[in-house]
Every structure is written in C-alpha cells, then in structure tokens.
Amino acid sequence: MLGRKLTARLVTDGHVGGRPLDRLTLADVVAPDRPAGLTSGVDLVAADLAADGEADRLLAGRPDVVFHLAAVVSGEAEDDFELGYRVNLDGTRALLEAVRTAHAVDGYTPRVVFTSSIAVFGAPLPNPIPEDFHATPLTSYGTQKAIGELLLADYTRRGLLDGIGVRLPTICIRPGRPNRAASGFFSSILREPLVGEEAVLPVPDSVRHWHASPRSAVDFLVRAASLDGDQVGPRRTLSMPGLSATVGEQIEALRRFAGERAVRLIRREPDPAVMAIVETWAPALEATRALRLGFTAEQSFEEIIRVHVEDELGGALPG
Amino acid sequence: MLGRKLTARLVTDGHVGGRPLDRLTLADVVAPDRPAGLTSGVDLVAADLAADGEADRLLAGRPDVVFHLAAVVSGEAEDDFELGYRVNLDGTRALLEAVRTAHAVDGYTPRVVFTSSIAVFGAPLPNPIPEDFHATPLTSYGTQKAIGELLLADYTRRGLLDGIGVRLPTICIRPGRPNRAASGFFSSILREPLVGEEAVLPVPDSVRHWHASPRSAVDFLVRAASLDGDQVGPRRTLSMPGLSATVGEQIEALRRFAGERAVRLIRREPDPAVMAIVETWAPALEATRALRLGFTAEQSFEEIIRVHVEDELGGALPG
C-alpha cells in the first residue's frame, strides 16, 4: 500500500532527493504493477532481497535513493519466526551489504530510507515516549526493525551509505478492505461507516494511539530522501510526528464529518485478545527532532478523514 | 581474561545456576588451556561459532547454562568490519539458532548469559544514564552488542531459551601488561605504579567513567546464571552496577593505598585522540534493576585496588 502510494507520488513529483526522477526500479516479492503515467525508465522486479546476489542486482543501476519498505508484517513475523527473520533482518542486511560491496568498488553512497515502526517500543510505555527512550520490542517484528535501525546507523557512521530511518505511526485511514491485523479497527471504524457500511470496534473508547494518514507517511519518506544528513547527526532514525487520539476522539470526528448515522454503523464487540495487544502500544511519541527537520502530520482526526475522502473517495462522501 | 577467571570461579564453587558442575565445555577460537584443579569432565574446544554446525556441536551435551563471552573487542571490530560482524553478530546469532534447533528437537531451554557492554550507549550521554535510555552506539562493537541484546530478548520472549544479558562496566584493574586499547590507561595508572613501574596518563584528571573489578564482573556472570527470569521480566538485559569515579579519584585512592612514590610513577602525556574517544563514554549508569536483583560492585577505588592486590599480587604489594 505505502509502496504504491510512494511510487505514485514520485511519478507526480518527477524528482526525488533533489534529483530528477529518470529511472525507477520497483522490487517486491512478486513483480509489481507498472505505475500509471510512466511508460519508460521503470524496472519491475520480483526479488527475494535475502537471496544471494539479488540485492546486488537491484543496485546495478546505482540508484541515488533507495527506499527500503520491504517487510513481513507484525502478525506474520510473529506466526512465522523464520520468515520474519529472513525477510526483515536478513533482507535488510543483504541490502546494506550490497551497498557496502558497491561502495568498495566505486564509492557508491546512496541515501537509504529505512521504514521503521513504533513497534520498536514495548510496554510499559510513558506518554509521550521521549526521543531517548529505549527500544525494548515485544514482537519479533519490532525486534527486526530495531536491529535494522542499529545497522543503518552503523553503516552510515562508517560512510558506507547515507541512511535515514523513519519510525512510522500507525497509518490511518488505511485504504482497502478490513483485515485481521490487530490495528485494523483504527481504520475500519472510520473507513466503513464513511461509505455506509458496518464496522466492529473491539476496544473501549478510551484507547489512545498514535496516527498519521497514508499521505503523511508518503511525505515522511519523500522528505527523508532529501534531508541533510549532517542535520540529523549519528542518531539516524527519527520518530515521526503523528496525532495522538483516543478511539472516542476518532468517533467524535466521524460524527462531525459524517453525522450520527455514520457513528451508528460502529458495532461495539469488546475483544479481550485485541485489547491485550493494543494496550501495549504507543499512546504518543515525542517527535521533536523530526518536527525541527520539517516533518509534519495531521492536527486532528477530521483532517485525517478529509485526506481519506480526497485521496480514496474522489473528494466526496457517496450519495 | 574474563573467561579464565569465570572458569576458575566455577571450578572453585563446584556449582552454577543451582546445579552441580559436572561437565564444562570451554570453547574459544583457539583451544583453551585446561583449568587448574579439574582433571575430568571438561571439554576444551577450538571453535568458530559462526561456522556451520559448530554451535550445534557445542550444545550436543545440552549444558544447563551457556556463558557467551565471545567477542572481537571494540578496537578490532572497528578496524575489521567483516570480522567484527562475523564474530560478534553472526556468532551470537548462530549460538541462539543452535539453541532454537535443539529446542525444537527436545525442548532444550538453557539459561544463556550474554555479556553486553556500556558501549551500546553513544554520546551525548546523561549522567547517570537512566535504565530506559536508548542504545545509540557509536562503534560497530556497540552496535553488535546492542543487536545481541535484542535477539536475546526476542528468543527468550518466544520461550526458545532463557536469556540474561549483562552490560558490564569497564573492568578495572585489568590484569596483564599495558595494551593499546583506548581504555587501557584506567587500569595501567594503578596496576603499574603498584609494582613500581611507570604508567602513562593520556587524559585529564577530570575524566569520569564507570568501573568494576574483574572479581565483580565474574560475580555478575555467576549471579546472572541463577537469576529467576520472572523477576527480570521481558527486558532481559541489565545494566550492571559499578563505581563512578574520576581519574583524579583513582589517583587519590592510589596515593592512600601505596603512597606518594607510587603516584609519582604516573606520567602525564595528554593525547587528544584518546581524549576524543573517552569523552564519549558513560560516566555512570543507573543500575537500579540490577541492584534490586542483588548485583553489587565496589564502593571505592581503594576497594578495587585491594581486590587487585588480593587476586593478582598474592595479597601484598611487592617489597
């Protein structure tokens, strides 16, 4: 989802990291679709980053900017230990090693934008989580992301590449259909009622979490591609800004935006299993470093809903 | 050094982690010496942990406790990128993977004691460094240790092993001859004058650092072997207690212990390169968790000197 939106944004902008966009390599475990509006200068590659030589192959054209989004998501990395470590750790390391190999040959030193996650933090968590709070993840996914942050910083410190890590908030409203991710309801309770469909809310209104729209997330990645590394310093991963809001505040924004009828489509079905997971998540992050570097996110949930209506529903609610 | 002292302590105790010591496997890159006082029940193995199958071979006898001290030290890991990652990261991961493989076969779940380091912290650092301060290392060695901490916690959380990490202070007084490690002078300015030899001090008296004796370090490892994991919780690495002292305080302790003549053997030769490294190091750690779990270190540098005289000089200063 994020890769697709990022690609569309890059094509629209026509430049990235201060350079014109004249060649784009899109790699995923299955060959990605050709992005709309781009007829030439794009390679579509099915690749297993962790496999021998694949990362080297992807870097053959020496891209100026590498966005590394690839990941087995949280639930899957928890269900399949070996797959998670292979994709999220070995894959990341293979990419960094391929850059190091290329660097030794011809001094190649690309900007590498690494997507990390608030999952690097594990309960108990203060509110907000300070910039200098330790990463003690409670999932394998969070562990793999935290290791990626450490590797990125060390390879950067040694001048082998020029990395920036961004710790993304939970993306809301995530487009598409409801899924079984524990975080799915944060999007679902807005996305479905906005088009007249029911949604299930498994947690109390008091649950507080850290959100940003898909549009903001793409902004974060694009901005990370052009940051001045000297201004970031050796602590190469930045906690991204977001909106700290309770479920109750989400629902109030829905009421103001789409009326009581939309709110009545939210069905409360408390689920202790989901609640047990969600209550270990970050309520808010201090993002003073990122804010100082010009990153911004939405200021209200009405704004997040408006972004969704503009980007996914053609600018207006149906009927 | 620490491995040798730990072995001697285990042989003297005759037990570890609440179980009698009836078999001991010592592994190092070159076959270690047979420990004094032990004629049977000991395997001496030359092993490259990161090599295929070697970690599995070491665990064939299913030891109840595994002490993982193996490491390429800080300076060497900085000079040789590949060696450092191979030994400190791949070696550690191979060990954890070998335990996971054995766990899948027969439920093997050993206590794994992992030696981490205050090198996981990188400047700027508060004094003291809080328990929840982030690990942003400024060396490859610190990066590899921080990754080891993350892996240890995740494998433990998943029930594949029962890990405890200990972040050791700088070990002082380190026995042996002066070496070129940047931290060497902390030991040298005491060890050499105590036996009537000269020592070089490359930094000002005001430099503050975090110390514990070799005897305390061995105590930490032995205690970690028998800790109740439930009392530790999911944050499996503990910052060890130590003594926060300035170089000036070290010298005052030497004066009280061995007189003005010993102090006059310290030759001040300011070295900006050493100073630049040392000023990024930890002045002191909050070790409230470890203290609550019964870990203790020396309270004064006179005590640290006394431990050295007892353990290395036969209990008295020479003539």
In this predicted structure, what is the pLDDT of residue A181?
Answer: 74
Q: Which of A81, A132, A157 comes nearest B134 by C-beta?
A: A132
Cβ-contact B234, A136 below 8 angstroms: yes
Chain B contact probe: residue of A86, A99, A132, A133 with most B CBs at under 10 A: A132
Q: List the catalytic residues of B.
A: 141
Whether B12 shows a pLDDT value over 80: the answer reads yes
**What pLDDT score was predicted for residue A26?**
93
Asked whether the beta carbons of B284 and B127 are under 8 A apart, the reply is yes
DSSP-derived pairing of the beta strands A111-117 and A162-168 = parallel
Residue B310 has pLDDT above 70, yes or no: yes
Tell whether the model's pLDDT for residue B233 goes beyond 90.
Answer: yes
Report chain B residues whose CB lies below 8 A from the CB of A100.
81
Residues of chain B found within 8 Å of residue A132, distances taken between Cβ atoms = 133-134
Which one of A122, A135, A158 has the shortest CB-CB distance to B134? A135
- Residue B201 phi/psi, 5° resolution? -115, 110
Contacts of A165 in chain B (CB under 8 A): none
Whether residues A136 and B235 touch (CB distance < 8 A) is answered with: yes
User: Quick one: average pLDDT of B195-210?
Assistant: 96
**Which chain B residue has its CA at the smallest distance from A157's CA?**
B138
Write out pLDDT tens, residues B33-69: 888 877 778 999 998 999 999 999 999 999 999 999 9
**Binning pLDDT at 50, 70 and 90, where does residue B73 land?**
confident
Question: Torsions phi, psi of A53, nearest 5?
Answer: 85, -10
Provide the sign of the torsion angle of the four alpha carbons B289, B292, B294, B298, taken in this order: positive
Report yes or no: B265 at the A interface, CB cutoff 8 Å: no
Kindly determine whether residue A137 and residue B122, on different chains, have CB atoms separated by under 8 Å. no
Q: Give the predicted TM-score (pTM) of the model.
A: 0.96
ipTM of this predicted structure? 0.96
CA dihedral B210, B211, B217, B221 (to 10 degrees): -10
Assign a CATH topology to domain B2-312. Rossmann fold (3.40.50)
Q: Are the CB atoms for B175 and B309 separated by under 8 Å?
A: no
Those residues of chain A that have pLDDT short of 70 are: 180
Least Cα separation, residue A201 to chain B (angstroms): 29
Nearest chain B residue to A151 by CA distance is: B143
Q: Would the CB atoms of A81 and B158 count as touching at under 8 Å?
A: yes
How is residue A46 written in tokens? 């099915």
Residue B304 has a pLDDT of 98
Structure confidence at residue B281 (pLDDT): 86
Domain A2-172+211-243+284-299 part of CATH 3.40.50.720:
yes
Which chain B positions have a beta carbon within 8 Å of A140's beta carbon?
154, 158
- Residue of B147, B156, B235, B277 to mutate when probing chain A, most A C-beta within 10 A: B147
Give the mean model confidence (pLDDT) for residues B175-197: 90
Rounded mean pLDDT, B198-207? 96
Residue contact B153–A132, C-beta within 8 A: no
Q: Where are the domains of chain B?
A: 2-312
Q: How many A×B Cβ pairs under 8 Å?
A: 57
Name the residue among A122, A143, A154 with its Cβ closest to that of B143: A154
- Is cis: bond before A266, omega within 30 of 0? no
Q: What is the pLDDT of residue B114?
A: 98
Strands A237-239 and A199-201: unpaired
Smallest CA–CA distance, residue A132 to chain B, in Å, is 5
Q: State mean pLDDT over B200-219.
A: 97
Q: Which two tokens stand for residue B93?
A: 């991961």
Given a cut of 70, is residue B77 above it in pLDDT? yes
Distance from CA of B51 to the nearest CA of A (A): 17
By the CB < 8 Å criterion, does B163 face chain A?
Answer: no
pLDDT at B178 over 80: no
What was the pLDDT predicted at A180? 67
Confidence class for position B278, pLDDT limits 50, 70, 90: confident
Residue contact A158–B140, C-beta within 8 A: yes
